[in-house]
């Protein structure tokens, strides 16, 4: 059984949005297994799908570039150690330069040399963590929220709708474009969780089956771009808006600074004591 630390309880709270004691109890029952504990809490309390994927836990910016004809767009996540450096103009310029380079090739020796010089100048570790390049079948729309979230969409349809959809992607952070793209394993896990919750209701099997289907459909609507309520009209899904405009959404890309990276926990009192010594 894994040790149930405060950090583990904190992580489960962030994933589920539930209270500390509930999370601690679930971890104890799950033998310290974070995934099993999350499933237990979702079965019992109807907690939403994990929010861990959207957690921002590192500093840096999203560099972005788009061609004038709207056919090629890039996003790149460049990380640093502090928020102060993330606002440094040299750091921002480096991220923009890398984004433009990505339009035609992968970052190479020239970019690595610039990175190393920037590290020496600024005094922090700087990394090019990940990047995407989107070649449009229709026309691209690019949206960067602040400097930490970047979205690209490839749409065959009105330009204003494309821009709205890029903003929607940045706001709602869908994990998949459509239900067809959701892996079978993800759907199976959601069905298992929904089944366990529905069985506890004590209702007849035919009602339980409907409850399970409804719960799975709800989750699929939350994690797929086409199934989400449109950012400018929550009475309609994105799919319905596209249909009304006779538009086709071919693809999208999204990068969020620090997504999936855990910051090192710091003990402020210990740091002060160490400095004093």
Is residue 81 very low, low, confident or very high in pLDDT (cuts 50, 70, 90)? confident
pLDDT, average across residues 69-74: 97
> Residue 271 pLDDT > 70, yes or no?
no
| Mean pLDDT (whole number) for 163-183 | 97
Of the listed ranges 51-55, 104-108, 147-151, 253-257, the one predicted with least confidence? 51-55
pLDDT tens per residue across span 40-66: 887 876 555 444 333 333 799 999 999
| Mean pLDDT, the chain, whole residue set | 87
How far apart CA 171 and CA 190 sit, in angstroms, is 23
Task: Encode pLDDT of 9-26 as tens digits.
Answer: 888 877 776 778 888 899
Fold for domain 56-153?
Tetrahydropterin Synthase; Chain A (3.30.479)
Listed in sequence order, the residues at least 6 apart from 47 whose beta carbon sits closer than 8 Å to its beta carbon are: 16, 17, 18, 38, 41
**Where along the chain do its domains lie?**
1-48, 56-153
Write down the pLDDT at residue 49: 44
Residue 12, pLDDT score: 84
Q: What CATH architecture applies to the domain 1-48?
A: Orthogonal Bundle (1.10)
Q: Which residues of 16-55 are buried (b: 16+ CB within 10 A; e: fewer)?
A: bebeeebbbbbbeebeebbeebbbbbbbeeebebbebeeb
CB contact at 8 A, 79 and 259: no
Nearest to 257 by CA among 68, 123, 108, 85: 85
Residues in the chain: 277
Q: Which of 60, 62, 58, 59 is nearest to 76 (CA)?
A: 62
pLDDT above 70 covers a percentage of the chain that reads 88
Give the DSSP letter of residue 134: E
Contact assessment for residue 143 and residue 244, using Cβ atoms and an 8 Å cutoff: no
Q: Please tell me the pTM assigned to this model.
A: 0.74
How does strand 229-230 pair with strand 149-156?
unpaired
> Distance between CA 153 and CA 143 in Å, rounded?
9
DSSP secondary structure code for residue 32 in this structure: T
CA neighbor of 254 nearest in space, from 112, 134, 88, 129: 134
């Amino acid at each position: 059984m894994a040790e149930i630390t405060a950090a583990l309880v904190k992580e489960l709270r962030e994933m589920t949005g539930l209270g500390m004691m509930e999370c601690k109890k679930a971890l104890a029952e799950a033998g310290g297994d974070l995934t099993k504990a999350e499933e237990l809490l979702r079965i019992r309390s109807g907690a939403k799908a994990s929010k861990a994927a959207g957690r921002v836990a590192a500093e840096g910016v999203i560099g972005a570039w788009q061609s004038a004809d709207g056919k090629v767009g890039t996003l790149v996540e460049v990380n640093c150690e502090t928020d102060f450096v993330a606002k440094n103009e040299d750091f921002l310029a480096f991220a923009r330069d890398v984004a433009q380079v990505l339009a035609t090739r992968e970052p190479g020796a020239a970019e690595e040399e610039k990175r190393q010089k920037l590290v020496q100048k600024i005094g922090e570790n700087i990394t090019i963590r990940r990047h995407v390049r989107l070649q449009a079948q229709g026309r691209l729309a690019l949206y960067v929220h602040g400097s930490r979230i970047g979205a690209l969409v490839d749409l065959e349809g009105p330009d204003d709708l494309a821009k709205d959809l890029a903003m929607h992607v940045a706001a709602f952070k869908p994990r998949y474009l459509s239900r067809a793209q959701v892996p079978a394993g993800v759907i199976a896990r959601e069905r298992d969780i929904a089944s366990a919750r529905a069985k506890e209701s004590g209702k007849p099997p035919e009602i339980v089956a409907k409850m399970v289907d409804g719960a799975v459909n709800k989750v699929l609507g939350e994690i797929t771009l086409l199934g989400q309520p449109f950012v400018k009209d929550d009475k309609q899904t994105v799919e319905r808006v596209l249909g009304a405009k006779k538009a086709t959404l071919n693809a999208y890309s999204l990068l969020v600074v620090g997504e999936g990276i855990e910051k090192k926990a710091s003990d402020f009192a210990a740091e002060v004591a160490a400095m004093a010594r």
